Amino acid sequence: MKKILLQTTIPYAKDDWSIERFSILTDVLSRIEDGSGSNLFHITARDRENLASGNDPVLSRLDESDFDELWLFGVDVGSGLGAEDCSAIGRFRQRGGAILTSRDHQDLGISFCTLGGIGPANHFHSKNPEPDPERCRADDTDTPRILWPNYHSGKNGDFQRVEVPAPVHPIMRHSANPLGHIELLPAHPHEGAISVPSAESRHARVVAVGRSAITGRPFNLAIAFDRNGNGNGRAVVDSSFHHFLDYNLDPRAGCPSFVTEPSGSGMLENPQAVADIKAYIVNIASWLAE
């Protein structure tokens, strides 16, 4: 049985995006079975703990653990990863460990910048902005306090239609969808910005693209990194942890008090949207495990 660590980059806070708000994700992953009905994954879900050194007791020794996959949710605006955490995560991937990272708008998840290889795939407001200056401006204008990058794919609780570049990557396949691939993912008013780093262009590619509901501008939703021949494990970089949150899959789950935008109900009303996001979760876990 493969072991997956789900972890946020902040200590527990009831009124924040703590790991308990990813309970649907945890449940979907824990229910994945093989052909004989046996569970494929054991899930550990936790929030960050800060040692006196500024590191996390689990992440700072991740390479020495028996975890096979790390799903890291960047909900911090700084100090979400210590130097020892980053080094151990790097060694974890070098030994074949697989990683998913998911951040959000502006500077949420900015600690990802210090992750080797996959870190440069993330563009923030204060670090590593998108190279095209035309993109360094607000896309979502409904919430002026949130600065770029903030691509508006729809309301929390609604879904967005996804463009899937050919050939369809394994994490985007879905035989139960008439199109043969994932078509709908949870929407969010202000998603982050990601792109393939030039140094990884031979081993990584964009596998899902969204489109702003305000400007019509396309933006990347997911990037898949294959093994590069040096033993590194696979990785997926996702543009917004809201794709995996309870609140976005079912807005009745509630949200922190700082979320003021009105929510939608598209995910509740469209069974295909629910099936697609569950396929996305299962596909990522399965592909990373190969």
- Which tokens hold the place of 28? 């979907």
Q: Is 148 within 8 Å of 182 (Cβ atoms)?
A: no
**What beta strand segments (E) does the chain contain?**
2-8, 41-46, 69-73, 98-102, 122-123, 159-161, 184-186, 193-194, 204-211, 218-225, 235-238
How much is the average pLDDT of 59-72? 98
Residues paired with 122 in a beta bridge: 194
User: Using one digit for the tens of pLDDT, what is the confidence trace for 196-254?
Assistant: 999 999 999 999 999 999 999 999 999 999 998 777 999 999 999 999 999 999 999 99
The pLDDT, as a whole number, for residue 60 is: 98
Tell me the pLDDT band of 135, cut-offs 50, 70 and 90: very high
Q: Please tell me whether residue 234 adopts helix, strand or coil conformation.
A: coil
Residue located via tokens 């929030």: 47
User: Using one digit for the tens of pLDDT, what is the confidence trace for 93-133?
Assistant: 999 999 999 999 999 999 999 998 999 999 999 999 999 99
- Which tokens hold the place of 112? 């990802």
Q: Is 155 within 8 Å of 187 (Cβ atoms)?
A: yes
The pLDDT, as a whole number, for residue 230 is: 74
Residue located via tokens 């979907």: 28
Domains within the chain, CATH numbers bracketed: 2-289 (3.40.50.880)
Which residue in 80, 112, 71 sits closest to 16, CA to CA?
A: 80
Q: Is the pTM of this model over 0.95?
A: yes
Q: Is 104 within 8 Å of 242 (Cβ atoms)?
A: yes
